Structure 1
Amino acid sequence: MELREIETFLAIVEQGTFSKAAEKLGYSQSAVTVQIKQLEHELGARLFDRVPRGAALTEQGRAFAFHANEIAGAARAARASVASAQAAPQDIAGVLRLGSVESVATAILPEVLVHFHSTCPRVQVIVTTAQRDRMIEGLRNNTIDLLLTMEGHVHQSGLVTRALRREQVVFVASPALLESVDEGAPAGRPLDAASLCELPFVLTERGESYRLELDRALSELDLHINPLIEAGNTETLVHLAERGVGATFVPRFSAQRELERGSLIEVTTQLAPVEMETQLIHHTGKWIAPHMRMFIEVLESLVK
């Protein structure tokens, strides 16, 4: 098994077709085909199925993808380590592929990335935001090095989870909205669940993290919320709530500035409090390279 065969395999996974992978690598399409056939012969498994729109990974191909990325990453790290084995943080180089959910990427990541860049200016960071299940798949096939998320504690085979801190998820609304619905609410009277559900709402997507916990709590009371707007970006939800479009349910840190300046007010309710954990997750088989270790150190110093 040669490194170039692994790199060709990964190029096909990234590009989706043999022809595009050949173009990216500067090979002929026949050379790419030969390399993959040789790799499949050595592994004793078919890695791709030809489909009308390109090449799709087989089950064996998906299993191999993680290790292929790890081998390629280790090769890159080995080259870099020759020059940076004893390097100071500012001399560490590499590419950090970071996955994150929207709420964390918007509210927490900017400060972390500023500090990390000042510590390791030569490290390139690629941030991908998507739904949690897609990010977990990225960890498993090794297209993502680290995942920063916020939810109930993750216990999944093959993954290592570092809990960083607990986060409160709160209901917030503009003062004008609350006054128009219930003049007693701003004074601190907790809303019962039925009254809460009568408020207009803007919420994150159904089935995601803290929205899932909210829907579960309400369903136990035979209640539900039909939001006016659903959006994955918590910053968007906070801005909509601030403009009086509806109340929202977000991590406290996402609305902290607005709560401090009074443009949003926390809505107290009779529902049990919801707490999530900000967590850093990586694959158990992942080698923690120097640039990854430095990112974890910076993250843990700021998010605690």
Structure 2
Amino acid sequence: MSETLTTAPALAGLDPASAEVLEEWTYSMQAQDLSPKTIRERLILMRTVGREVGPLLTLTKRELVRWMAGKTWASSTRAQRRADFHTFFTWLQDEDHRVDNPAAKLPRVATRSVAPNPFTVDEINTLLNGGIYRRTRAMVALHYYLGLRVSEIARVHGRDINRATRTLKTIGKGRKEVTLPIPDPLWELAQSMPEDGYWFPNYVANKLFAAGEGHVMGNSISGVLSDAIKRAGLDHRPHQLRAATATEMHRAGVSAFTIQNGMRHSMMQTTTKYLLVEPEQIRAGLDLLPAVAIPSRSSRGHGPR
């Protein structure tokens, strides 16, 4: 199902010059055929900077660095924001709105590797049996059994389900349309969900739809799941249900190439960030090494070594 983009809320509260260039930038991004989600997130970021720091046409590198330094972002988020700033201010230069580029030499973001922390099967069962509603159980199942992202879960529509082939069609990152097979445990639940309508309709207005006219946002899915996870006493984030998908497939002996395709990652490096490899799995691999004879003593000289 398609999304519509409304720019007015993202431009409200800015100085006139900033609002004008952001509106022009919106048209430029639409002409590049960027996704509504990407455009919306970039506009929200620049609107926030314009409000909290100052006019976008006179903002300095020093002001931008100080503002970024005060944010408690994850390193991946910080790196993405840095890239967004570079894209925006480079565009301002190209369009002759600014002579300088305050984002040209922003500090590089240190990369930090985070160990995977997927849900275990027992933890998923604890979550599902913790008194959560059918709607929430469906969110958990889509996250785990299909490895869907929260934005993809939010958009599931009854017409996305092909009941003859038992598959689900979704639009992933980069607006790539993919068809995923629905496994048996999820199929039973799918049959109880609406055949014609969003599985997770919005009962209140959001950034995309008036109340009752569309689906919830991805952050609403995250919020519902986060609350359920907290009530269950589990130390996880919702996205780690998706990590469980990759990890359990790997444990079952599924090839890395298949897992990468199932997770819909363009690079294997991304897939490996989701996989938890336990010591016993490494031990099993080491036990398969061809044996070599380890002498009990050195052959040098005559005495024991």
Smaller-chain TM-score range?
under 0.3
Q: What TM-score do you get using the length of structure 1 for normalisation?
A: 0.24
Greater relative contact order (Cα 8 A, min sep 6): structure 1 or 2? 1
Q: What TM-score do you get using the length of structure 2 for normalisation?
A: 0.24
Higher strand share: 1
Computing the radius of gyration from Cα coordinates, the structure with the larger value is 2
